[in-house]
Structure 1
Amino acid sequence: MNASAHDSAVLRRAADWQARLKAPDCSAVDRDAFERWCAADPAHIEVWLEVAALDEAAAGLGEMPAIAAAIRPARRGAVHARHRRRWRSGVSIAAAAVLMLAVGLIGWLHPFGGFAAAEFATAVGEQRALTLVDGTQVHLDTDTALEFRVDDAQRVLEVRRGRVDLIVAADERPFEVLAGRGRLRDIGTRFQVERRDPRITVAVLEGAVGVRLTDEAAAETALTPGQRIGYGERGPLTPVESFDLGQAEAWTRGELIFSDRRLDEVLTEINRYATTPLRLSDPALGAVRISGVFRPSDTDSLLAALDAGWSLRARRTADGAIELTR
């Protein structure tokens, strides 16, 4: 499929429609809307036919054991999304993941040509681990979105929001990460990128990463294991600093480790995973120092620990939040 000839938005929309048309709850209204979309531009039909053909190719490749194992995480994501009845944000993303995997696998069986892209995202409180077509392992934290683009010359991953942990696969094509105004060059490594606008942080767990700003003349800064760096919407890179590797890895296991951190900072981090926010009855409580290992997905255990260790009692407020008080 020569996807480079088509607008990426049309390609993504075609993947959306392919996922919807194959969904068990696809209705006559959906099919009418699809026909109107096709009628709006002849290119829409062309792109959808290519996507549908690739989808069928992916289904056939799925019978091969090694390929079935590779696409299983994307299929699990699609089933999970259908259960939530959120096909546009879940099923279509999973379908795009399967299509992306198929493109890569076909490229390994035959000379790779053209361009392919896939988008992945997690909801608040959700984490997801997946393997890209080149073998790179990606772990998405809560409320994270990224796009992976690959062709026969390069691999580019763009972090649009959230936090990712990357174990980059060896490949003759260079691997770069885009995050805001920063460009990160992988040098065979495991590293994390956190984008909480306006701040972006890069932390290296294994190997090395080169970091530079696209609008600055300064030379690339090299990071080695245990080092991190940050930048914002403007200005230079922050000074390189060290960090705790164990704490950095903890979130990929569903844990958050805090060592002598302010309570308000702890709640800010935990609330990134929470659909029910935690807040303080008195801002002065924010100065309480907290240390421990917590699982943000287990609110009851978290509240019990705060009560037992720091005498912080929880109560429900009228707006549905959980308020901590003494």
Structure 2
Amino acid sequence: MDESDAVDELIVLYLQGRTTRAQEEEIRSWRSASPENESRYQAFVEVWQRTAVAQPREVSFARPTLSDLEGRVRRRREAVRSLAPGMARTLRWAAVVILALGIGALASTLFTDPDSAAYAFVTEVGTGDGEMATWTLPDGTVVRLAPNTRLQVRQDANLREVELDGRAFLSVRPDPTRPFRIITPEGEARVIGTRFEVNTTSGELDLLVVQGAVAVSGGGREVEVRAGERSRSQAEREPQIETVRDVEARIAWLGTFLAFESTPLSQVAAELESRLGRPIEVTDPDLRARTLTGWFTEAEMEDVVDLVCRAAAVQCVSAGDTIRMTAGSGTAP
């Protein structure tokens, strides 16, 4: 990571209110060192103000649709794109961080009270023809809805439960004390923490596990579905399990959307490799076991790789067409 990138990251942390006192002093010293530094800082502030997520006190609590929420994020992204090309290049890291906030940050401010020790969260959302949406639930679970999908969510201090009609990809935040339940007309699934796809559009509960395991119920029987396996069941038919050879092809409808939940870096690299079309190597066993949590949508894959390298504190370098992840903080090629 060069000095310019390090400064950019520090400014982003400062604007998020996540810096230490020493880092705040470092920012102040850097700004006062030259007029160019101050101009660069003010450029960051401009982007941040034009793309900032609304604060809870500014939000109407009339229930918005996911289209409304995504429209707000889209307008903020367009504000970034409207900047002069030179400024946009300088602030690429800031734009990627803002992009990573996405609709989930908006949904959290709209529907949860961060000052409350206990909360009750009940709502229903949906997508229309040709519409997809990403939503972060209060517990940190990320949901990607396919077109023509309805989702009802119920969560409190003891319960995590959703009713689904349609198709969705979920990255569930682990919580052994509150297993995550999915209810459909064709059966139920019980999750502790995993990533998986659920599809009810064909009149059955069709579930594919990408990471972790899910217990699926149908026909009076519960079976465990593991990573790389697909289960198909109905209310009166026991789940039938099969191995899926090409998981990525099955979830190709997600497009540029990616979500990781305590995912080993080896698996993160494999999924990025599939999307980017370039080999990504992680040979160090310790690095392969390092985990990552986060989600991205509508971002260039090169930017996602860059952000993953920074978040995982690994050095990413190009060797021909191959990207190698090695120990040490660094940036992607």
Q: TM-score, normalised by structure 2?
A: 0.45
Which has the larger Rg? 1
